[in-house]
């Protein structure tokens, strides 16, 4: 071996050893300063609200401040990209809803925003599942999903509202259209509140929404739950049938939330965060808060979230292309 090649290999070996040592040292001393959890959506929404609950509990457990940094825009892609480029040291994390693996398929990412949801992040924990609920106002006269399909097939002009183009609710609506052989017209809104308001007012025939956003209206009899879009009935809505059990078996999806870090986050930090969050998810006060938002606790190993993201990336990418879904 010539001297130059020997020196090059020695330098590479030394660099690898130093990198491994630095990662180990970081993991052993983490956290030594405040942790930032990026939420790629505005303050005040469900994602932000539950992230703040988790941040408070995590801070108590690790003895360091845990800050929420809202970085909204481009269906979450701006905040996602920020975390993807952050140092993999456990001090910048991402808390995200299930738009995370969808946005890259419905938006054309600009410079500095593009990222790969599988390659550029380290999954830490899936914190919860959120059923997708189909609701209507009593004034529509629709009492069930079966009646809704019959009305659509009889020629009644019907619309469905969602919180936005490319949202999980939009995909659920298009799956329902396809599986039931109907053509409800999509009415995309900018957020949850406008969908709820227009469903209450009868300006859309039905709305696809999350349970936490409409629980009080359902309890007051102002909205009727017709079905949920998953295989098993939702624990928070045990009396509401699923579209799957009613015979529309392609409509099997829900929303979820999870915590990730940048790519190559040290395994010791991943495992520490995962353990903390699994304990947090078992706290009665946290479960009560999640229930008010319509979130069912999940937890488990990082692989649970990794598997969810990989599956959704493939499935939703295919469905977005099939349905021609594009976001503004």
pLDDT at residue number 327: 77
Lookup result for tokens 């009665």: 284
- CATH code of the domain covering residue 278: 3.40.190.150
Rounded distance, CA 34 to CA 65, Å? 5
Q: Which of 228, 243, 265 is the last residue of a domain?
A: 228
89 and 41 assigned to the same domain: yes
164 and 119 assigned to the same domain: no
142 and 44 assigned to the same domain: no
Structural domains in the chain (count): 2
116 and 264 assigned to the same domain: yes
pLDDT at residue number 18: 45
pLDDT at residue number 6: 57
pLDDT at residue number 109: 66
Question: Tell me: the pLDDT tens digits for 15-26?
Answer: 444 444 444 546
103 and 185 assigned to the same domain: no
CB 51 within 8 A of CB 95: yes
Domain-embedded: residue 107: yes
117 and 24 assigned to the same domain: yes
Quote the pTM value: 0.88
259 and 116 assigned to the same domain: yes
CA 123 to chain centre: 13
Question: Tell me: the pLDDT tens digits for 15-71?
Answer: 444 444 444 546 789 999 999 999 999 998 899 999 999 999 999 999 999 999 999
Give the domain range for residue 145.
133-228
pLDDT at residue number 229: 96
User: Please, which residues have CB within 8 angstroms of residue 128's CB and are 6 or more apart in sequence?
Assistant: 50, 256, 257, 281, 290, 295, 296, 297, 298
Mean pLDDT for the stretch of residues 177-186: 98
DSSP 242: B
122 and 140 assigned to the same domain: no
64 and 42 assigned to the same domain: yes
151 and 299 assigned to the same domain: no
User: Please, which residues have CB within 8 angstroms of residue 3's CB and are 6 or more apart in sequence?
Assistant: none
């Amino acid at each position: 071996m010539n001297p130059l090649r020997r020196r090059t290999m020695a330098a590479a070996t030394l660099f690898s050893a130093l990198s491994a040592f630095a990662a180990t040292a970081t993991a052993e001393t983490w956290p030594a300063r405040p942790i930032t959890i990026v939420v790629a959506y505005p303050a005040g929404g469900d994602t932000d609200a539950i992230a703040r609950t988790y941040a408070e509990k995590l801070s108590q457990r690790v003895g360091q401040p845990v800050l929420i940094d809202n970085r909204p825009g481009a269906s979450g892609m701006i905040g996602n990209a920020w975390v993807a480029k952050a140092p993999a040291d456990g001090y910048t994390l991402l808390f995200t809803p299930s738009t995370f693996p969808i946005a890259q398929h419905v938006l054309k990412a600009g410079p500095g925003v593009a990222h790969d949801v599988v390659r550029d992040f380290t999954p830490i924990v899936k914190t919860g599942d959120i059923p997708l609920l189909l609701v209507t106002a009593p004034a529509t006269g629709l009492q069930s999903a079966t009646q809704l399909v019959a009305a659509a097939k009889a020629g009644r002009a019907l619309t469905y509202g969602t919180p936005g183009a490319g949202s999980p609710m939009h995909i659920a609506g298009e799956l329902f259209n396809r599986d039931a052989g109907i053509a409800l017209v999509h009415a995309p809104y900018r957020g949850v509140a406008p969908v709820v308001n227009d469903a209450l007012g009868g300006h859309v025939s039905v709305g696809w929404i999350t349970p936490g956003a409409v629980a009080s209206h359902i309890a007051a009899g102002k909205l009727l739950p017709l079905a949920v879009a998953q295989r098993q009935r939702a624990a928070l809505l045990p009396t509401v049938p699923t579209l799957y059990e009613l015979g529309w078996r392609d409509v099997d999806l829900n929303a979820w939330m999870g915590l990730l870090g940048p790519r190559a986050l040290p395994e010791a930090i991943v495992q520490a965060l995962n353990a903390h969050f699994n304990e947090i998810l078992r706290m009665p006060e946290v479960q009560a808060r999640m229930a008010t938002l319509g979130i069912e606790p999940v937890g488990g190993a990082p692989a649970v979230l990794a598997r969810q993201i990989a599956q959704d990336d493939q499935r939703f990418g295919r469905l977005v292309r099939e349905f021609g879904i594009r976001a503004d």
